[in-house]
């Protein structure tokens, strides 16, 4: 099966665009072998809601970069596979992309489980891997470059503001898996530092859709505000059911609105009083952001909300481009030398962002947003550039050693 045939079918838009661009540019440029980008995003099953924007973001970035002449004159060839939310498929396809297609860089994965499935495989090669989601943080691995926001960026901004504005008593509901448990741990730690307390904590198994008991537990505890870290379509039903029971506490979150665009999916006022800190949400109103939105809408006129996953997937490719152009190489070791200088930066639609040398996570322009009763979104506070400082503080320094581990506040590196 010829690879070009497959690529055309898989991501016809990008391929056609790159072909058109290749014809336009001088023949010398077209003769260079393309840079192969392997992309693993789920576009079928439960999680397609998240995977589709990520694929779209990547397609848009590839098209733009190729139209502008590629990376160092080399076109990007995007090879996308759909692992269907299956961890075993993630492993198979990561191997396929690395060993058979011999991609120069691997990008993708939605859940942390899929990232953990990929990491050991990437680690046996010298290909860099970009994980483009916001997540629970803590991965200290030289092969992995994390583009999304992490808890210290989201919670260290959100929680002090929520405590000052609404009060010191919080009730946490969180999905009962790694992301939810670690985020709840972050909430606990930061609340303590703020002199507040977590007066109730509830972990909900993935897939649960009925929240009668939870709603009553919250009323019984009567907190000042709720930290909502519920994940997935089923658990989002909480908002509708809480609104129907007239639960009207202020809410905070690190994933709502910008990621699952719940304010567009539930009728008002289910999400009213929701607050979140994010590096991207569609309502950002700056010239760079508006320009990005316009380009996105032109390419995908029928797609819904532009969420932070799609946005991060888009910026990941530009970050890769910047790294390769500075390193004048696609090798992982050379890219990491650029990262080690601390000058791996790009001007993204959110503003300027850089990769932190110690943790290989990305600094972000964080903004606090609030949802109004009619589900419009207002920007409450601009925190400016926030570093992914936590891993470096606790002792992860990828410029010195590579433990290939995921740390958490209760599982710190041994000093």
Partner 1 sequence: MFAEAFSIAFQFADVFAFLILAAAGLAIIFGMMGIINMAHGEFITCGIYVTVIAVQHGVPLPLAQALGAVSAGLVGIALERTIIRHLYHRPLDSILATWGISLMVTQGMLIVLGSSWQGIGTPLGSFKVGDYTFSAYRLVLFGAAVGVLAGLYLIFMRTGYGVMARATMQNAAMAKALGVRTERMYAISFGLGAALAGLCGALYAPTMTLIPTMGITFIIESFVTVVVGGANVLLGTAPAGILLAIVRTALNAWYGQIAGQIGLLITVIIVIRILPEGVSGWLSRRER
Partner 2 sequence: MSMLRKLNGPQTMGNSRAFWAGFVAMLAIALLYPAVSDPYDVGNVAYLLIFTLTALGLSLMWGYTGMFSFGQTAFFGVAGYSYGVISINLAASGAMTLLCLLGAIAVAALFALLLGYFLIYGRVSGVFFGIVTFATTLALAAFFGQTAGPEWAIGQARFNGFNGMIGMPPLELPWSGDVIVLEGNALYYFVLGLLLVIYLGLRVLVNSRFGNVLVAIREDPLRTELLGYDVRKYQLVAFVIGSSLAALSGGLYTAWGQFIPPASMGLPAAAMPIIWVAFSGRQDLTATMVGTFLLLLMFQTITVYSQQYALILMGFLLLLTVLLVPSGFVYGIARSLSLIGRRDKPGPEPVLRAGAEGPSS
Neighbours of 256 (CB within 10 A): 24
Q: Which string of DSSP letters, residue by residue, matches 176-208?
A: SSHHHHHHHHHHHHHHHHTT-EEEEEEEE-TT-
**Which residue, 113, 120, 54, 119, is CA-closest to 87?**
113
Q: Which does 241 bind (CB under 5 to 8 A by kind): partner 1, partner 2, none?
A: partner 1
Partner touching 117 among partner 2, partner 1, none, CB below 5 to 8 Å by kind: partner 2
Site string for partner 1, 56-95 (x = CB under 8 A): ----------------------------------------
Q: Could you say which of 177, 186, 311, 314 contacts partner 2 (CB under 8 A)?
A: 177
Sign of CA dihedral 405, 55, 17, 1: positive
CB 81 within 8 A of CB 39: yes
Q: Which does 96 bind (CB under 5 to 8 A by kind): partner 2, partner 1, none?
A: partner 2
Q: Which of 64, 86, 201, 402 binds partner 2 (CB under 8 A)?
A: 86
CB under 8 A: which stretch of 156-164, 286-294, 329-337, 403-411 binds partner 2? 403-411
Instruction: Give the list of residues 6+ apart from residue 267 with CB closer than 8 angstroms, or none.
Output: none
Contacts (Cβ under 8 Å, ≥6 apart) of 298: none
Q: Which does 11 bind (CB under 5 to 8 A by kind): partner 2, partner 1, none?
A: none
Residues 230-289 that bind partner 1 (CB under 8 A): 233-234, 236-237, 240-241, 243-247, 261, 264-267, 270
CA distance 298 to 288: 16
Site string for partner 1, 180-219 (x = CB under 8 A): ----------------------xxxx-xxxx-xxx-x--x
Bridge-based pairing of strands 129-131 and 76-81 is unpaired
194 scored as a contact of partner 2 (CB under 8 A): no
H-only helix segments in 132-257: 151-166, 178-193, 212-221, 232-244
Contact 169, 196 (CB under 8 A): yes
**If residue 370 lies in a helix (H) or strand (E), which one and from where to where?**
strand 364-371
Whether the Cβ atoms of residue 75 and residue 321 lie closer than 8 Å to each other = no
User: Radius of gyration of the chain from Cα atoms?
Assistant: 21
CA distances from 156 to 73, 160, 254, 310 (A): 41, 7, 11, 24
Instruction: Give least dist CB 71 to partner 1, A.
Output: 32
The correct pick among 95, 264, 293, 337 for binding partner 2 (CB under 8 A) is 95
Minimum CB separation from partner 1 for residue 18, in Å? Answer: 26
The minimum distance between CB 264 and partner 2, in angstroms, equals: 23
Q: Cβ contacts of residue 326 below 8 Å, gap of 6+?
A: 338, 343, 344
Cα–Cα nearest to 238, from 281, 169, 151, 174: 174
- Does residue 178 belong to the site contacting partner 1 (CB under 8 A)? no
Choose, by CB under 8 A, the member of 99, 210, 216, 286 that binds partner 2.
99
Which residue number, 248 or 341, has a Cβ lying nearer to partner 1? 248
Toward partner 2, which CB reaches closer, 91 or 217?
A: 91
Considering only residues 3, 16, 26, 100, which one is a binding residue for partner 2 as defined by CB under 8 A?
A: 100
Q: How far is the CB of 261 from partner 1 (least distance, A)?
A: 8
Residues in Cβ contact with 225 at an 8 Å cutoff, skipping those fewer than 6 apart:
162, 166, 167, 169, 170, 171, 249, 250, 251, 252
Stretch that binds partner 2, among 16-24, 60-68, 178-186, 279-287 (CB under 8 A): 178-186
CB of 342 to partner 2, least distance (A): 29
49 is in the binding site of which of partner 1, partner 2, none (Cβ under 5 to 8 A by kind)?
partner 1
| Helix boundaries (H) for 259-348 | 262-265, 287-299, 308-327, 332-340
Residues in contact with partner 1 by CB under 8 A are 44-46, 48-49, 52, 176, 202-205, 207-210, 212-214, 216, 219-220, 222, 233-234, 236-237, 240-241, 243-247, 261, 264-267, 270, 304
Residues in contact with partner 2 by CB under 8 A are 1, 6, 9-10, 43-45, 48, 81-84, 86-89, 91-93, 95-96, 99-100, 111-113, 115-117, 119-121, 176-178, 181-182, 203, 205-206, 405-406, 408, 410-411
């Amino acid at each position: 099966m010829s690879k070009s045939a497959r690529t055309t079918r898989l991501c016809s838009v990008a391929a056609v665009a790159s072909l058109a661009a290749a014809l336009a540019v001088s023949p010398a440029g077209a003769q260079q072998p393309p840079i192969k980008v392997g992309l693993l995003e789920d576009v079928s099953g439960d999680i397609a809601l998240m995977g589709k924007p990520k694929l779209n973001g990547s397609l848009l970035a590839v098209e733009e970069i190729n139209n502008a002449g590629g990376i160092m004159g080399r076109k990007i060839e995007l090879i996308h596979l759909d692992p269907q939310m299956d961890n075993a498929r993630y492993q198979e396809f990561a191997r396929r992309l690395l060993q058979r297609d011999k991609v120069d860089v691997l990008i993708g994965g939605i859940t942390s489980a899929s990232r953990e499935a990929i990491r050991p495989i990437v680690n046996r090669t010298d290909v860099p891997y970009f994980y483009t989601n916001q997540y629970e943080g803590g991965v200290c691995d030289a092969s992995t470059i994390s583009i999304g926001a992490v808890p210290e960026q989201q919670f260290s901004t959100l929680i002090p503001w929520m405590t000052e504005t609404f009060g010191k008593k919080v009730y946490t509901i969180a999905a009962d898996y790694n992301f939810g448990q670690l985020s709840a741990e972050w909430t606990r730690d930061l609340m303590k530092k703020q002199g507040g307390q977590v007066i109730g904590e509830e972990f909900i198994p993935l897939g649960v859709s009925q929240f009668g008991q939870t709603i009553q537990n919250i009323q019984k505890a009567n907190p000042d505000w709720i930290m909502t870290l519920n994940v997935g379509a089923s658990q989002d039903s909480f908002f509708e059911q809480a609104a129907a029971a007239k639960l009207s506490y202020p809410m905070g979150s690190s994933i709502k609105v910008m990621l699952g665009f719940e304010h567009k999916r539930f009728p008002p006022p289910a999400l009213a009083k929701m607050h979140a800190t994010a590096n991207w949400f569609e309502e950002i109103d700056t010239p760079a952001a508006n320009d990005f939105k316009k380009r996105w809408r032109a390419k995908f006129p029928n797609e819904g909300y532009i969420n932070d996953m799609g946005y991060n997937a888009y910026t990941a490719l530009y970050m890769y481009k910047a790294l390769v152009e500075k390193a004048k190489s696609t090798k992982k070791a050379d890219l990491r030398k650029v990262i080690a200088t601390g000058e791996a930066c790009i001007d993204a639609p959110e503003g300027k962002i850089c990769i932190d040398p110690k943790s290989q996570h990305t600094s972000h322009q964080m903004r606090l947003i609030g949802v109004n009763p009619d589900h419009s979104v207002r920007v409450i506070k601009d925190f400016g550039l926030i570093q992914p400082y936590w891993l470096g503080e606790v002792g992860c320094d990828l410029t010195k050693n590579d433990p290939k581990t995921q740390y958490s506040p209760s599982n710190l590196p041994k000093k």
